[in-house]
Structure 1
Amino acid sequence: MSENIYLPSIATVTEVRPETPDISTFVVTLDDPQLKESFTYEPGQFAEVSIFGVGECPIGIASSPTWKGFLEFCVRAVGTVTNAVHDLEVGDKLGVRGPLGNSWPTEEIEGKDLLFIGGGIGLPPLRSLIQYVLDHRERYGAVEIIYGARSPQDLVYKQELKQWEERADVELYVTVDVGDETWDGPVGFVPPFLREINPVPENKVTFTCGPPIMIKLVVQALEEMGYADANIITTLEMKMKCGVGKCGRCNIGDRYICRDGPVFSFEQLRRIPGALEA
């Protein structure tokens, strides 16, 4: 991107896809033709998305780097900037600063079986890696995906969930906290659902993202199942602000989540004072 890490590049909204009543996916393309072609990133990285006259906020890149020419951001309307993002329409302009942060470990997990555990808006950061793995399927072992949301209406990427379910090389499990007349699948929270599925830990790396309480209980369950902390990986992007380690908001111990993360294994997090309590 720009040589100035504080300077956003101008982008245009090319598509808006509603996912839930308060979550939408925004597809954007960079206006500079050279940047559009040269922009590269890794699964798990994020960008600072800015709305002119309003502000900026860090948002994970939800698309896979194997998809060229555009970026996707899945955004929940929860604050000033994200509500302004939700006001955008096709053709509107925004700023993109990035890519920033580290990434999911794509090379280190080659040959491993993979378990993805997401809750609610926690699926988009995982989706970037899931789609990358599926686009390089021959490099990885078995793929299991466990996903939960508050209700059937709160599930994101409904069409992709159907596609993953139809694949012979993916095991997909979906649950909702509260069902309704439209739902005939499992009902219950993700952590007990995980225990019920009881995926074996041998030769497996797991990636989890979701509400903090879900992650806490998921990690407890995984550890009881025999998963090593080094093989439990998460992202802490919700704690970030400036994206370049200057504002201090995401400082934990001697680390800055935006600069040293947002991706960490739980083995790493247990070595950082206060990381698991922050």
Structure 2
Amino acid sequence: MYNPYLPKFAKILKIQDETPDTKLFTFQFVDKANQNNLNFTHGQFLMLGLFDYGEAPFDICSSSVKTNTFDLTVRKVGILTNQLHLLKVGDLVTIRGPFGNGLPLLQFKDKDLLLIGGGCGFVTMRSFVLDYLAGKLNLGKLNVFYGCLNEENLYFKKEYSQWRKKVELDIALDKPSKSWKGKKGVVTALFNDRQDFSNTVALIVGPPIMYKFVIQELQARGMADSDIYVSLERRMYCGVGVCQHCAIGSYYVCKDGPVFSWEQLKDIKGAV
């Protein structure tokens, strides 16, 4: 019988530095049956933990169809993540999940998808891109907007040349170096009056302060609230909607989200 509270052991297969404070980890469950049973949708998360240091939610950023391994991106910001950064290939961690609801892509067959990521929120976008490149998403065009502080903090930059073969990737840097030739400013600098989003669904992931302004840009271009999705970050413990730490209105972020349509959230005070 499945027990969502019971952690499973996973081994680190690969560690890659992404930025000075962020690493990309590739894992595989120790029990092959657990790995074979791994199934998730884009936008879901796993609870990653270490005994004596606790656990925390991390968005899955690997392919949802190539599940012989799975990837999580960890930024060093606290006790648990500092300890995770000290681990080496071959070390073991605990995993619970996947949890929550991702983007309901089956509802948007043949529509275009616009992914808008700010800062660490860009992590979520990688699983979409990998599956789109593999021809596994029934979508029209895939556009990705990425707002970041500077070149040093860009995630997955070694993969951009491969992504751009099929994906329209646009990047804006808030504080770039003098050599930067792309857009300058926050992520909304990537919008312009020539863009047509009439057949598009959007997913926004990033710091809450950016949501209001990005949603305004999308609405100004005629996008319906039901076609605008956001991924919310709340402090989560149990992952199954019992502890209520992530309650927002009548929803639990860990169980009903973390991906919600703006139609669901727009009347809830403090939702973003």
TM more than 0.5: yes
Q: Secondary structure at 1:107's aligned position in 2?
A: helix
2:110 maps to what in 1? 111
* C-alpha contact (below 8 Å) 1:251/1:257 kept by paired residues: yes
Q: Which residue of 1 aligns with 2:238?
A: 242
C-alpha separation in 2, matches of 1:142 and 1:172? 11
Q: What is residue 183 of structure 2 aligned with on the other side? A: 186
Give the aligned partner of residue 71 of structure 2: 72
**Structure 2: runs of 5+ lacking an equivalent:** none
TM-score, length of structure 2 as denominator length: 0.94
Residue 126 of structure 1: aligned partner: 125
Quick one: which amino acid aligns to residue 177 of structure 2?
D
Report the alpha carbon displacement of residue 146 of structure 1 after superposing the two structures with TM.
1.0
Corresponding residue number in structure 1 for 2:203: 207
Partner of 1:95: 94
Alignment of 1:77-88 (within 5 A): 77-88=76-87
- TM superposition shift of 1:197: 6.6
Does 2:36 match 1:40?
A: no
Q: CA deviation at 1:150?
A: 0.2
The 1:177–1:14 alpha-carbon spacing in structure 2 relative to 1, beyond 3 Å, is: same
Taking the aligned partners of 1:187 and 1:71, their CA distance within structure 2 comes to 33
SS in 1 for 2:105: coil
In structure 2, the CA distance between the partners of 1:180 and 1:154, relative to structure 1 (3 Å rule), is same
Q: CA deviation at 1:198?
A: 5.0
Gapped regions of structure 1 (runs ≥ 5): none
The aligned amino acid for 2:145 is I
List per-residue Cα deviations over 1:143-163 (Å, max 9, x = no partner): 111112100001000022222
Is structure 2 residue 265 aligned with structure 1 residue 269? yes
The residue type equivalent to 2:3 in the other structure is N
Could you tell me how far apart the structure 2 residues matched to 1:247 and 1:256 are?
Answer: 10
CA contact (8 A) 1:46 1:58 kept: yes
Structure 1 residue 257 displacement after superposition: 0.7
Residues 175 and 97 of structure 1, relative CA distance in 2, 3 Å threshold: same
Change (3 A) 1:102 1:138: closer
1:183 to partner: Cα distance: 2.5
What is the aligned partner in structure 1 of residue 15 from structure 2? Answer: 16
Q: Distance in 2 between matches of 1:210 and 1:270?
A: 17
Return the match for 2:173 from 168, 176, 184: 176
Q: 1:159 to 1:131 in 2, by over 3 A?
A: same
Tell which deviates more after alignment, 33-42 or 20-29.
Answer: 33-42
Identity over aligned pairs, percent: 38
Large movers: runs of 4+ above 6 Å: none
AA aligned to 1:102 is: N
Q: Describe the SS at the equivalent of 1:241.
A: coil
Structure 1 pair 83–245 and aligned structure 2 pair: CA distance change class (3 A): same
CA RMSD of aligned residues (A): 1.7
Assess if the C-alpha contact under 8 Å between 1:61 and 1:72 holds in 2: yes
Question: So what's the TM-score if we normalise by structure 1?
Answer: 0.92
Q: Give the 3 Å change call, closer, same or farther, for CA 138–124 of structure 1 in structure 2.
A: closer
Structure 2: how far apart are the matches of 1:136 and 1:81?
36
